[in-house]
């Protein structure tokens, strides 16, 4: 028979808000990257103990994935909005400009994913690197599919290499995120976007192309 003490422990509700704790963990991962964020950093920011972290979120890797999900829901909502734009040019312009806005957060500059993948050097971080790579490839695939539709619509040239174009856009987005982490401000990133779009490789953005 279980003691009354044991029953009380089992039935005791958590004394913290998991959503607030996860939001705090997100900021730590965003600022430091996955590998550099220690459990002490996380628990201090979240205001919880290590046992509470394990109970509510699993291990550090699972906590990171949950924080990454939250980051994508709250900070990267503009991606789906970009993909829904009527032209490929507008898709890329919206994606990069809104990305610049997100990367320019003064408290947490750059991109959580980019900041983390750059610090994943150890064997223990390999699964996190693979997760980040898979998510990046997922977005790149969505871009390629969007550009394939643009070819069918006559929005970009029929001979456009959509694989290369998707990689080009991703390289711009990730490069800006890295620059933001190193101190580039919003005006600087917007200047990069404007410069890149001047050389839009798929014909005039204001007219259908053959």
Over residues 120-131, the pLDDT tens digits come to: 666 557 888 888
> 21 CB contacts (<8 Å, ≥6 apart)?
46, 47, 48, 56, 57
Report whether pLDDT(2) > 60. no
Topology of the domain covering 76-198: Tetracycline Repressor; domain 2 (1.10.357)
**pLDDT of 12:** 44
pLDDT tens-digit readout, 134-182: 999 999 999 999 999 999 998 998 899 999 999 999 999 999 998 988 8
Reported confidence tier of residue 205, pLDDT bands at 50, 70, 90: low
- Specify whether the CB–CB gap between 25 and 46 falls below 8 A: yes
Question: Rounded to two decimals, what is the model's pTM?
Answer: 0.81
The architecture of the domain spanning 16-69 is Orthogonal Bundle (1.10)
94 or 32: which leads in pLDDT: 94
Which regions of the chain carry the CATH code 1.10.10.60? 16-69
Work out the average pLDDT over 190-208. 75
Secondary structure of residue 14 in the 3-state scheme: coil
Rg (CA), the chain: 21
80: alpha, beta or left? (left if phi > 0; alpha if psi -120 to 50): alpha
Average pLDDT, the chain: 85
Which regions of the chain carry the CATH code 1.10.357.10? 76-198
**Residue 140: what are its φ and ψ, rounded to 5°?**
-60, -40
**pLDDT of 14:** 53
Identify which of 176, 174, 173, 150 has the alpha carbon closest to the alpha carbon of residue 161.
Answer: 150
């Amino acid at each position: 028979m279980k003691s009354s003490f044991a029953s009380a422990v089992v039935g005791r509700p958590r004394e913290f808000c998991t959503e607030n704790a996860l939001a705090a963990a997100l900021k730590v991962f965003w600022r430091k990257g996955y590998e550099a964020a220690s459990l002490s950093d996380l628990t201090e920011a979240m205001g919880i103990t290590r046992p509470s972290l394990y109970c509510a979120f699993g291990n550090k890797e699972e906590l990171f994935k949950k924080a990454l999900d939250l980051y994508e829901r709250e900070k990267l909502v503009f991606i789906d909005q970009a993909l829904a734009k009527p032209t490929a040019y507008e898709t890329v312009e919206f994606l990069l400009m809104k990305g610049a806005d997100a990367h320019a957060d003064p408290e947490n500059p750059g991109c959580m994913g980019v900041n983390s993948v750059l610090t994943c050097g150890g064997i223990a971080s390999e699964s996190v690197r693979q997760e980040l790579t898979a998510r990046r490839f997922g977005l790149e695939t969505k871009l390629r599919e969007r550009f394939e539709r643009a070819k069918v619509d006559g929005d970009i040239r029929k001979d456009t290499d959509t694989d290369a174009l998707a990689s080009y856009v991703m390289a711009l987005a990730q490069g800006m995120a890295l620059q933001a982490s190193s101190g580039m401000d919003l005006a600087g990133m917007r200047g990069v976007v404007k410069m890149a779009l001047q050389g839009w490789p798929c014909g005039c953005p204001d007219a259908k192309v053959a």
